[in-house]
Structure 1
């Protein structure tokens, strides 16, 4: 674990339990949204369960994991087994009042997106099921990435057929919201801006340090936050810990943060996206591009 994350782990246990539970429910809904569960989708769910090792001995996972493992033992997840697991999840309520229901529903959406993509292909039937889920959960409107997902799917489904370009766009977006293995941070998911599909992180950004405001989120693979601050200030830039309207560049640490409630991004990223929607020219920059820009500026 990255040292920057250790201080979060002690007080984030409840949120990590809930996030894992909601994501598993979402994956189950996603892999079965077209009424078919294939071998690749079962393998995806099995792999996700393997990544819950740090909480599997705790309630509710000490009850849930054995049930899921039994269901997956033969390499097949039947409809009845899925319903049994979903029923158990609904009874294993650890939520309390520490965050509102929007958080849980958004975590479930992330799981659904991952479940749909589990077999490597997104079908028209799956998108129809997803649109139904989005309609039933329209209280998530304005919460990123609900609007982007809904807008992209609506555009793709206008002619009722997913062409090759649309398939790639859908896969690119959906793949950002399930964290497995070392994929700890967003890379460049597309978002809808002014009716156009654009990348969230700037591609090969031209970064100007002099008199520009920088903010950082997540953890760096190379430096402490204070080191990043010193780099910016040495090159004539200004640093802030808060994602406000004055920020020009939000740098996203390549090591992510396992305590983020939304797994692949955090509050600052969502705030930056909302600023961009209002016309504020804030650039989201991946840490790798930031280091390249620093190297260029230092000559």
Structure 2
């Protein structure tokens, strides 16, 4: 049979697109389910990687590709360490539209309270904290850039923090964008007069690399 008008081919493409959309929607549900208990273990990470490879690896979707690439990097040594587990949990919460650092699925504003104008930044003896998922790469790589320049990495939001850097994946690129407890606490400190600056990853990279 000759498909003169490409009706079969076109209908197959349409069917494929519907399957892809359902699979992408299913991934949101899987991400929410894995993040629901507040932790991600090795078995869950491996399951997620296999599922994406089976259902969505062929998609030219930048968000799915970022999630898969970062997940593959984490599992490249066949071990999901504690730091990677925390970062993966944060990624899945953002992908599923859950507030970062919280279990409840309430929605927070999507306009991030960044310092405006963006502040000048220095490195030596300045204390940095990251939140969200960084487009530059794994958080430990971002932290290494700070330490190399004489900066310090903070453990949590407090009066000791000079800069809270908000990862660009999670506000511009993720469809379901929310922000969580770190930003909320930083805003409260800033409003009380504490000199803590909330900056975007884009600004951080511009100052860092020129």
TM-score band w.r.t. shorter chain: 0.3 to 0.5
TM-score under structure 1 length normalisation: 0.34
